[in-house]
Amino acid sequence: MFLSIKELIEQAQAYDSVAELMIATEMTQSGRSREQIRELMGRNLAVMAQSIEQGVAGVTSVTGITGGDAKKLNDYLNSGRFLSGDTVLTAVRNAIATNEVNAKMGLICATPTAGSAGVVAGVLFAAKDRLQLDYEAQLDFLFTAGAFGLVIANNASISGAEGGCQAEVGSASAMAAAALVCASGGTAAQAGEAVAITLKNMMGLICDPVAGLVEVPCVKRNALGSSQAFISADMALAGIQSVIPPDEVVDAMYQVGRQMPSIFKETAEGGLAVTPTARRLQAELMNEA
């Protein structure tokens, strides 16, 4: 069992990949066989694919506040007139699609939370064609993301209510960045650098859900997280290192979360949640209830 990114990197040397280390850890913790664990992860992968497909086709949330943006972005992608790279923008589309499905109370895979479910799924399915990832490689991507997510969860937080959105979308983006590095042939150490770069760039991100719902700004923050994952992965693969070691960055994120005022931690008492438009939307929804 690894308790830090440093230990994860060291222990991964005894395995073919970080994914295999994660599987071995899960086998020890759960008592399940390797085949059972990979089968369960396959179910998660299937849910991710389904949620992206549904979102891209076009959905509207239960409240009507969000929906349809993934379809708009898909049409924009198909136009060929976009400014960002195709792979990154596809990840953004996928992330939005997943969280729009979540907002309509559809089935998604929380990675690591429902509010940040679009990042890992969005990144994986955008990278699948780019990196020519077969089914087994896609599962490995998820196990790798899970390994780094496990460290973050145990040493900081993945909860917006505890650590702000840096803990949710920030952690998801770091997990996706690490998995991208390994899927691209990078080392576990480079994956750790990607985690550090990501968390540093998203540190301090507040959680301020409008009307207390996981819609605004959550959906578009997943878009930010998916794009950040690609940038962090590329930086790490280029050999760029974080001056502050990954484990120290994780600890810093935890400390920031502890010091963050409660109004910025999923209470809908600060940030965008108290803007005039947010107050109006909240009042309208309460009148409709």
Average pLDDT over residues 67-96: 97
- Judged against a pLDDT cut of 70, whether residue 289 lies above it is answered with no
Section 67-90 average pLDDT: 97
pLDDT of 288 reads 79
Tell me the pLDDT band of 201, cut-offs 50, 70 and 90: very high
80: left (phi > 0), else alpha (psi -120 to 50), else beta? Answer: left
- CA-wise closest residue to 225 among 201, 209, 257: 201
pTM: 0.98
Is the pLDDT reported for residue 263 higher than 70? yes
Q: What is the mean pLDDT of residues 81-96?
A: 97
Looking up tokens 């993934």 gives: 70
pLDDT in tens, 220-253: 999 999 999 999 999 999 999 999 999 999 999 9
Higher pLDDT, 286 or 138: 138
HEC sequence for 105-152 = CCCCCCCCCCCCHHHHHHHHHHHHHHCCCCHHHHHHHHHHHHHHHHHH
Query: Hey, what amino acid is at 262?
Result: S
Q: Class of 5-288 per CATH?
A: mainly alpha
- Tokens at residue 94, please? 């996928």
What is the sign, positive or negative, of the torsion defined by CA atoms of 173, 167, 197, 155? negative
Q: What is the pLDDT of residues 266-285, one digit of tens each?
A: 999 999 999 999 999 999 99
| Distance between CA atoms of residues 193 and 242, nearest Å | 6
Q: Where are the domains of the chain?
A: 5-288
The single residue listed with the structure tokens 């799924």 is 121
Give residue-wise pLDDT tens across range 9-30.
999 999 999 999 999 999 999 9
Whole-number Å distance between alpha carbons of 169 and 159: 10
DSSP 263: G
